[in-house]
Amino acid sequence: MTDPVLPQPEWRNFYGRRHGKTLRPSQKTYLSEDLATLRPSGVAREENPDRLPIDPAAIFGDARPVWLEVGFGGGEHMVHMAARYPQVGIIGCEPFVNGVAMLLGKIRTAGVENLAVYPGDARDVMEVLPAASVARAFLNYPDPWPKRRHHRRRFVTAEHLDPLARVMAPGAEFRVATDIPDYVRQTLEEVPRAGFRLEAEGGTPWPDWISTRYEQKALREGRVPHYLTFRRDGG
């Protein structure tokens, strides 16, 4: 059965979940009423099979700085950033439909208007964004894939980082938050290899940070957050 809401890029090796608990009626309403307007056009493969570059200025109506959030989960960080930085436009990507529905509810409550929501894999977005078009990117608590044989599924692999490096402007900031020590290790190894330099790392969050759902769970379970800041080479 085809999904009425989400693109189904089965040709991609996506290993995460796309669906969770049954959506509440209100969440179904958000998806059917709000997603079409918030969704950037030209990203889904079926809409743009030739993968022609999209114009970020067309998404936000002007040539504002564009930020990218990979895997926004319930959307609390994305909405917080959108409210805090109304002069930027943030594109968020999340293949988990329950997360997308949660974000849409938060957007209604907060009334922020500088967000675009792609209900799918960040690689689809990176593939069609022009080179050097992103001024900041966030990777908050990426899926940990703890088993050694699954480490190559992590976001911090060349398969994801090379496209990210292409779309990030020289000097653009890339923030990573994780609670998994081995994820820190792999991030420190792989991100510089993709063309970024480490600027800071440690247990103190960024001044404008808001703790996410996943971070709250990690803290409850006794894990320790780690925050890493990189800059795209060339700035």
What is the 8-class DSSP label of residue 149? G
Q: Closest Cα partner for 139 from 187, 171, 107?
A: 187
**CA 113 to CA 76: how far, in whole Å?**
15
Lookup: tokens for 57: 């200025």
| Distance between CA atoms of residues 193 and 157, nearest Å | 10
Q: Does 218 bind ligand SAM (CB under 6 A)?
A: no
Residue 66 or 93: which CB sits closer to ligand SAM? 93
Q: Catalytic: which of 143, 162, 182, 208?
A: 143
Q: Is 213 annotated as a binding residue?
A: yes
> Is residue 67 a contact partner of residue 37, using CB atoms and an 8 Å limit?
no
Interface with ligand SAM, residue 223, by CB under 6 A: no
Options 96, 174, 183, 230; binder of ligand SAM; rule CB under 6 A? 96
Q: Which of 64, 127, 143, 163 binds ligand SAM (CB under 6 A)?
A: 143
Segment lying near ligand SAM (by CB under 6 A), choices 34-42, 56-64, 70-78, 199-207? 70-78
- The two beta strands, 89-93 and 66-70, are parallel
**Binding of residue 40 to ligand SAM (CB under 6 A):** no
> CB–CB of 184/154 below 8 Å?
no
The answer to whether residue 119 forms part of the interface with ligand SAM (CB under 6 A) is: no
Q: Which active-site residues does the annotation give?
A: 143
Binding site for ligand SAM (CB under 6 A): 16, 70-74, 93-96, 99, 121-123, 140-143, 212-215
